[in-house]
Structure 1
Amino acid sequence: MVRDFTALKVSRTLLRLGRGASGDRSASKRRNGIAGGKLASARNVRAGDRLRVSAYVCASVCMTFGPDSRDQQASCEAREHYGPLIRPLLLAAKSFRMKQPLRIFCVLRDSDTHSIFNMLVERPLTNLTPVSQQPADAFKLSNSQGFEWSLSFLTPTLLKIVVVGPNHPLPQQSNVQWNNKPLAVSAKIDAAAKKAFLSVEGLTREVTVQWDDTPLVDVYETVHGSNEKVLIFGDSPHKSYCYSDNGFTRHTRFQMNNLHVGLGEKAAPLDLTRRSFSITGSDSASYDAYLTDPLYKHTPFLMSLPKPFDAEGNRQPLTSVVGIYSASNSDANWDVGRYIDEPWGIFKKHTQDYGGLEEYILIGEQAQQVVTQFSDLVGRPQLVPRDWLGYLASGMGLGESDEPIAQELLSGFPGTCKHHDIPCSAIHLSSGYTVDNDGNRLVFTMNKRRYPDFAEMVKTFHKAGIRVTPNIKPYVMQRHPHYQKLHDAGALFTDPNNDNKPVVTRIWSSGIGCTELGSWVDMTSKAGREWWRQGALELCKLGVDSLWNDNNEYFLFDDAYICKNELADDSKSDGNRTGKPTPIGHLGRMTNTELMARESYHALATQHPDRRPFVLTRSANVGTQKWAASTWSGDNRTSWHNLRGSIAMNLNAQMSLLQSYGNDIGGFAGPLPSPELFVRWIQSGVTQPRFCIHSFKPCKEDPTGVKLNNLPWMYPEVVDIIRTTIKRRYEMLPYINNLNWRSHLAAEPMNTWLGWGEFAADPEVYQKEVLEGFDYWVGHGQLLVAGAYHENELTRRVYLPAAGKEDTKVYYDTHAPFGVYKAGQWVDNVSTPLAHFAVFAREGTVIPVGLPKNTLTQSEGIATLTGSGTKVLTEEEGGQCAHDDWRGVEIFPSPADASSPAKYTYTWIEDDGVSAKPVTAEIKLEISSNKDEVSVKATAAKNGFAPLWGNTLWVILPRPDVRKVQGASMTMMYKGQTAYAITVAGL
């Protein structure tokens, strides 16, 4: 596949199907070049191939057809490929015996993704009939062209559709790790209607298949409280399954009134309806958080959420949420109702570049059930080590310094944190440690001038309790000392149109826009993986705690490039189906991203077998999250606009299993943020799973960006606010760590939009002010964060969602004037001074809290040691860490004036935060109340882990609640409020 043309000319020579003047095709292949790229021959530009068009550019396609006989032959073949749009003009060229070439210009208006070639080839899959011998666990159709279509049930709510045929094999690596057998299927066939009614044990919905034209799968459910059947999923008639020379296009019914979410990392706003998206990854530096597509991730998972009212605004019962996962790593496009072709009805359209179809339909009463099933299918998010939940420091310029040398500059960072009384848990070392004398990044090498003793520097951080992760990139420039070794070992991609020589391309090397010639390492090759793992292992031996996989979108510019695909030994775990050299487009470029994460993971596990491996990745396919615990939104740009857009990006990413997600606080690229913008970005960041302040701010006077970095203390006038905000993050670490556990155990996002779960029944959450606003939950239904995302926004309006008409719960404003509000109402003039966001705690919420410091969960053992074996020093030992020896719970019971006070339970997990196989304590609270006092009973539901805080728990009521806690043994003051001590039974 040839990419990134703003104009394409298919010349007369090209349409001669690659024949040179003497009929030598190879000569023609060498001559034909387009816009700086290579297009070997017309045979390589198949109708199913996709030509990328740069965003914001209306590109033209110019096809030239000449008058001679060879052109007429080419025209006939082109007519077969390019379809009805150009057919009349081809006939005109022939009829008028034109002496001059006929040039056909077609405007490509959809700058998001697809070219005219993909749109013109959608051959409907028809003439299918049931196979004579039906398998026990599927319903199967086939036709005389060699296509096979089947539907099976992994569970009653998880359907699998497979289509294979000539040149359309199953995706070679699908990321699915489902080990249970499909359910036995019973089919009641109506031969006259060409329709089957399918059933499996436990199925509560009606599932039908019809094959009078293209196959149609329809799923109906009965509306609660009535006998009415509603279609919740359906294929589009006559065009449900279409194939091209290489890939597949799926048309499914588009519920235009539904909310559509997911697709991983996508630009704002939250609702994806009436938009189209590239399913691929790109190095999208300095992107626009509302406009840029693609970004960095490949996530073909889309959810359709019904609303509690119809298109006219009439109330209606909620029906089930439906998710669609297309299990291929091939590049693709998801058009969510943007593309309209009236005769074919209203549809969503998923176009996959290569291979057959492996599609999963996931059904749940609420969106969370669909997300959890998705994680059942592809794997749960990794459990993030506790150290990576605090303030994560970074700054590309910090590692680029030559005078003073970077090691000296960085070694002073822990002391600066201590001076400003700002806790820090980890630091990212950008790639400056790998540069040569010209500033080029040479992965797995060390710049000894800047870093004369890298291992000693790591120990300096470790004594302060700051973990270290170095940046690594999966490519080698030709000047890299290992380049020839990798070349000789077959660890590089090869080009079949260049005598199978290794692919050499331009690769980012140093400053903004600076590139050098080099090659991407083929992680599907054994040699490439072994080299990567060994290089990563050598870094681990220097004492680092984590690995930071960066620049790993593998944006190769020709899908014909060959990868070794030496994965046969991993067929079970990775879904590989051939193990033979394969065009990278067929396997999927970002399969390499996943394998890179896997090798980094195994290097860490080899060096530290008792520790939880932590791999950070910029790019990801769906399978990457099995190995990489965390990701972020890439190289964003400093602006209020992009801060606002980051909220929707975060929510869609977390709904798509990218659940340890965040963005570069303050903005990576562009100017320094203003003090106000920086404060607001930090206030937003501390409420998200990953909280990292990072930037690269080079300028003419300082091209390496050493002098300007986003750092907590860079603005003295707001450093007190920033310190308080970061310390609140540390206080909440027990709560955040529990949400981290919930993500790992049940795929529950830490942040969700206001209509998640039971709040989906509230019509108000679908209003534009809410849906395109910036409020979200921290812990579903617990803390509602209402931020300030515009300059000088000191008050604002906030909506407090209701879980149905009978919802009597209240919301507590956690800041002055500490108001209490009923659910389902708008609150005006909510205070958002520069000092804080507005945060509302919903009745029944419990927030476990600890000390406002970087803490150690053990007094000795694995939690006190680091990747270098260095012991973390406590404050008593002259260090910067404290022991995690105090625990409180901020609780929000029914208010004193409640007519019917409710009872609440809450359970959270405590562990050492480090171990690969952690033992845990689970503390369960039971809360009840009346107008005079609150009862809190605490018991250890599990007591494998012994927390340093013992069994004393301090209960904090919301301000200004003056009730006492029943049975408390003692009291203390906590932020102006009385805290009551209770004992955790069994701990």
Structure 2
Amino acid sequence: MLVERPLTNLAPSAKQPADAFVLNNEQGFEWSLRLLTPSILKINVTGPKHPLPQQSNVLWSQKPLAVQSKIDAAAKKATISVEGLRRDLTVQWDDTPIVEVHESVEGSSEKVRVFGDTPHKSYCFSDKGFTRYTRFNNHNLHVGMGEKAAPLDLTHRSFSITGSDAASYDAYLSDPLYKHTPFLMSLPKPVDVDGNAQPMTSVVGIYSASNSDANWDVGRFIDEPWTMFKKYAQHWGGLEEYIFFGQHAQEVVSQFSDLVGRPLLVPRDWLGYLASGMGLGESDVPIAQELLSGWPGMCKQNDIPCSAIHLSSGYTVDDEGNRLVFTMNKKRYPDFAEMVKTFHKAGIRVTPNIKPYVLQAHPDYQKLYEAGALFTDPNSGNKPVVTRIWSSLPGFNALGSWVDLTSKAGRDWWRRGVLELCELGVDSVWNDNNEFLLFDDAFECKNELIGDAKTDGNRTGKPTPIGLLGRMTNTELMARESHDALVSHHPDRRPFVLTRSANVGTQKWAASTWSGDNRTSWHNLRGSIAMNLNAQMSLLQSYGNDIGGFAGPLPSPELFVRWIQSGITQPRFCIHSFKPCKEDPLGVKLNNLPWMYPEVVDIIRATIKRRYELLPFINNLNWRSHVAAEPMNTWLGWGEFASDPEVYKKEVLEGFDYWIGHGQLLSAGAYHEGEHSRRVYLPAAGKDDTKVYYDTNAPFHIHSAGKWVENVSTPLSHFALFAREGTAVPVGLPKVTLTQADGIATLTGSGTKILTEQEGGQVVHDEWRGVELFPAPADAAKAGTYEYTWIEDDGVSAKPAVAEIKLEFSSSKDEVTVKATAHKNDFKPLWGNTLWIILPRPDTRRVQGATKTMPYKGQTAYAITVAGL
């Protein structure tokens, strides 16, 4: 059993710094409290054998605020204040340090505690690590922690904060999964479990900035003498903890991103349908290059638009079946660069799989060992650590070693490998199997300095136990080197690194991630929704899952359709698998393919094309994620909907509905076999919310906010989608589109010109833009005026020019008034300045000032002019 010793006998430092309140004891421990802003607290605890975490996750560069500490020596208590502080902040140290934060509640003269440490054992140290106990409110909703199994609410559950190769995991039970995200939010509910009103106090977030493995217990562990608590147990090192306060969860997420960095801007091409070539890439007869080169033709034949192809590691397999990263199987791929150009002409980007693991059969293995680029075991004469990953299992390959990317030699080797792939024309890279699952914390990494203050953290430059530094520091460095290689080869292009694993720092370098090797089942499809929402609340905002399931049996036609319908509403839409498949004209036997079920291919085609129509809307949500850390998908109680008691009921909280764009579109898919109708709740933004919801599949059905809708139609042909009054959805063509007639968007990483349909290719120019508009209905007692702003750009440039378009609209009984203005017009869209307004069917009101009309999906679209564009 781990021995924990409470941190006691502390006293204020004789000389307090201007920006902190500091406590010390005779054992050599130092506890300090700082405020980065009036709503971000920073707590550090260090001591003998407990240094600050060596991390580069935190990017904060501003000085902490000046602190005033009013000390009551007799009571061993200090009241802390800084300029702008709107809460009461105290520190007590008669036993273990106790931080408490109280705030005023509207309608009450009393102040409510919104954060507090657990009395008598708030901070406990073990031989190598620290355990942190904070008060637990079991009436609150707890969310975040990155990628965690369903359901959404983390309350009364415990988790490993580490990454694992969790192949075929259960989306409700498995832990850990692939990500390391020690970030937790506590959200007050308007009513407690007994239905009693509860004050809507601040949302509180806690982030522990360490890459060392840890455990989070969210009120599952009960020990009566110590009251109710949450428990964070960090295996190695001292504490560096940040506590955030916000009126809504988005405020906390935004502050978290201020601290560790915003999500990267995803290139527009990676927002479309992303295909997988795993089965094709493993083939010897016919050879893989022949099969893969036929992929664009198959997409064209089946009329399925496709934006990118993932090349699994089959291209690296040698004659003995060894997967050797950064090598090429010349028999399968006699001219890899030419194959890449084939994809590029069709407008399909290419991203190859790379793994940070070298088999002993790898031609560079000995060289890497001699250069100090492999992890070593200090208990065996510093020999390289030999272990296994997926590709070294029986029936696959032999043993090997992880590449130590904290070593300069390892980083240099990795970057050269990525650059060699760039020379072959690839557009991006896919960092896979990068959990660095080393099973002994005593194994050592080189921990060599990088030379960049923002990425070095407080590294020692000396060999360091992997437990202290944290295994997934390597995950971050792998993403960094991949990112920087892409930037150096294509400095004018937006880099795109896909990563399976991640720590909190990884999002600075890798633009996208996914839920790993899921397994095909209705159960796991349902569980993927909560995983997606918690991941996006934790800055993993370009997130999705392998549509149809990676492992296990083939999805049934119905399950496949429902998974695709769900997938097009999420940030990342990728169909990827490794499983037996029906015979295909290409001979493919190891892929989920959009056209593999003729009986539903028309539905799948229409669904994927709808994704492409929505790209202008999704691209804008991508921008919102980048500039403001706003998730594309949020749970139904996000923001102003947090005060609606109904969203906390089990049917909603453990259901599968969510926002696409906060407060705009409500996705209500079918997640059970044979579910052709269902019940849907439409949240209210306060008691006086008079806005209505349009059923976009049956727009003549208009529903009030704060109501349950019975028997919502979900035939196999579509899922349910509701648009809240005031929503505007920019839409484009149902095809892969080029945003420029010439320039960077018309060329690929190989320098190949993308061919349009007129040139015999498969793409078209982005020459049409509509907006699906949902004003107040004609019979509304009160019609509001609404605004929506979106960004248009080329989707490719590292430093893009943008056009920012503001739409203002209102309505009356007989007409809808729409005004569109470009407030930034550095980018000139190919669709010019003509915007087509589309009202909900069967709304027959005219659009004031429209210059012309056109039929659009059974409705009339009205053209207006965008001023200033």
SS of alignment partner, residue 418 of structure 1: helix
Secondary structure at 2:451's aligned position in 1?
helix
C-alpha distance after superposition, 1:262-284 (max 9, x if no partner): 00000000000000000000000
Q: Which residue pairs with 1:920 in the alignment?
A: 802
Alignment of 1:426-825 (within 5 A): 426-509=308-391, 514-567=396-449, 569-698=451-580, 706-816=588-698, 818-825=700-707
Counterpart among 411, 416, 423 of residue 298 in structure 2:
416
Q: In terms of mean alpha carbon deviation, does 500-509 or 462-471 score higher?
A: 500-509
Task: Write the letter of the residue equivalent to 2:191.
Answer: F
Aligned position for 1:142:
24
2: distance between equivalents of 1:350 and 1:288? 24
Q: CA deviation at 1:239?
A: 0.6
Maintained 8 Å contact 1:536/1:600: yes
- CA drift of 1:830 comes to 0.1
Please state whether the residue corresponding to 2:817 is helix, strand or coil: strand
Helix, strand or coil for the counterpart of 1:664? coil
Deviation at 1:516, TM superposition (A): 1.8
CA contact under 8 A between 2:447 and 2:459: conserved in structure 1? no
| Residue in structure 2 matched with residue 185 of structure 1 by the alignment | 67
Q: CA deviation at 1:575?
A: 1.4
Output the CA distance in 2 between the equivalents of 1:591 and 1:361: 22
**1:299-338 correspondence runs (5 A):** 299-338=181-220
1:817 is displaced (CA, Å) by: 5.9
Task: State the shift of 1:698 in Å.
Answer: 4.9
What is the Cα deviation at residue 313 of structure 1?
Answer: 1.0
Query: Which residue number corresponds to residue 939 of structure 1?
Result: 821
**Could you say what secondary structure the match of 2:861 adopts?**
strand
Structure 1 regions of 5+ residues with no counterpart?
A: 1-116
Which stretch of structure 1 is more off in the superposition, 412-421 or 573-582? 573-582
- 1:333-344 to 2 correspondences below 5 Å: 333-344=215-226
Shift of 1:315: 2.0
Cα distance in structure 2, aligned partners of 1:288 and 1:681? 16
**Structure 1 counterpart of 2:288:** 406
Do structure 1's residue 287 and structure 2's residue 169 form an aligned pair? yes
Instruction: Tell me whether 635-644 or 569-578 shows the greater mean CA deviation.
Output: 569-578
1:848 paired to 2:754: no
The one of 113, 116, 128 aligned to 1:234: 116
Residue 175 (structure 1) aligned with residue 57 (structure 2)? yes
Task: Tell me, yes or no, if the aligned pair for 1:863 and 1:912 is still in contact at 8 Å.
Answer: yes
Give the Å deviation of 1:193.
1.0
User: Does the 8 Å contact 1:146/1:165 carry over to 2?
Assistant: yes
CA contact (8 A) 2:211 2:470 kept: yes
RMSD of aligned residue pairs (Cα, Å): 1.4
Superposed, 1:192-271 pairs within 5 Å as 192-271=74-153
3-state SS, counterpart of residue 207 of structure 2? strand
| Distance in 2 of aligned mates of 1:466 and 1:855 | 11
Q: Deviations over 1:628-674 (max 9, x none)?
A: 00000000000000000000000000000000000000000001000
Q: SS of the counterpart of 2:298?
A: helix
Measure the CA separation in 2 of the matches of 1:415 and 1:711: 14
On the 8 A contact 2:548/2:576 being kept in 1, the answer is yes
| Change beyond 3 A, Cα 1:438–1:700 | farther
What's the offset of the Cα at 1:504?
A: 1.3
Separation in structure 2 between the aligned mates of residue 382 and residue 141 of structure 1, nearest angstrom: 39
Within-5 A mapping of 1:39-118: 117-118=1-2
CA contact (8 A) 2:739 2:794 kept: yes
Structure 1 equivalent of residue 769 of structure 2: 887
* Distance in structure 1 (CA, Å) of the matches to 2:225 and 2:743: 69
Counterpart code for 1:504? V
2:744 maps to what in 1? 862
Between the aligned partners of 1:167 and 1:511, the Cα distance in structure 2 is: 37
- Verify the 8 A CA contact 1:174 1:328 in the aligned structure 2: no
Instruction: Return closer, same or farther for 1:440/1:942 CA change in 2, 3 Å cut-off.
Output: same
TM-score by length of 1: 0.87
Encode CA deviations 1:240-261: one digit per residue, 9 max, x unaligned. 0000010000000000010000
Aligned partner letter, 1:288: D
Contact 2:278 2:590 in 1 (8 A): no
Partner of residue 355, structure 1? 237
Q: Name whichever of 712-721 and 438-447 sits farther off.
A: 438-447
Report if the CA contact (8 A) 1:567-1:576 is conserved: no
Q: Which of residues 255, 273, 278 in structure 2 aligns to 1:373?
A: 255
CA deviations 1:599-636 (Å, max 9, x no partner) are 00011111111000000000000000000000000000
2: CA distance between counterparts of 1:174 and 1:767? 40
Q: 1:346 to 1:546 in 2, by over 3 A?
A: same
Give the 3 Å change call, closer, same or farther, for CA 568–871 of structure 1 in structure 2. closer
Q: Partner of 2:861 in structure 1?
A: 979
How many residues align? The count is 868
Q: Does 1:276 align with 2:158?
A: yes
Distance in 2, Cα, partners of 1:445 & 1:243: 47
Q: CA deviation at 1:510?
A: 6.3
User: How does 1:957-972 map onto structure 2 within 5 Å?
Assistant: 957-972=839-854
Q: Secondary structure at the match of 2:379?
A: coil
Distance 2:747 2:801 in 1: 18
The CA deviation at 1:818 is 3.5
Aligned AA for 2:371? A
Larger RCO: 1 or 2 (CA < 8 Å, sep 6+):
2
**Would the aligned equivalents of 2:321 and 2:396 in 1 still touch at CA under 8 Å?**
no
What's the offset of the Cα at 1:572?
Answer: 3.3
In the alignment, structure 2 segments of 5+ residues that lack a partner are: none
Mapped contact 1:395–1:710 kept (Cα < 8 A): no
Does the CA-based 8 Å contact 1:175-1:574 persist in structure 2? no
Aligned AA (1:146): G
Deviations 1:331-374 (A, max 9, x none): 00000000011100100000000000000001100000000000
SS at match of 2:388: strand
Structure 2 distance, partners of 1:951, 1:604, is 34
Distance in 1 (alpha carbons) for counterparts of 2:388 and 2:651: 44
How far did 1:777 drift? 0.4
Mapped to 2, the partners of 1:506 and 1:658 lie a distance apart of 27
Q: Matches of 1:186 and 1:127 in 2, distance apart?
A: 23
Q: Which has the larger radius of gyration?
A: 1
Query: 1:512 & 1:324 partners in 2: Cα distance?
Result: 42
Residues 1:701 and 1:878: Cα distance change in structure 2 (over 3 Å): closer
Task: Provide the rounded CA distance (Å) in 2 between the counterparts of 1:317 and 1:969.
Answer: 52
Q: Please give the alpha-carbon distance, in whole angstroms, between the structure 2 residues aligned to 1:288 and 1:453.
A: 40
Task: Provide Cα deviations, 1:282-331, integer angstroms capped at 9, x if missing partner.
Answer: 00000000000000000000000000013421123311000000000000
Q: 1:512 to 1:721 in 2, by over 3 A?
A: farther
SS for the counterpart of 1:938 is strand
3-state DSSP class of the match of 1:416? helix
Aligned with 1:231: secondary structure? strand
- In structure 2, what residue type is equivalent to 1:319? T
SS of the aligned residue for 1:410 comes to helix
Shift of 1:231: 0.5
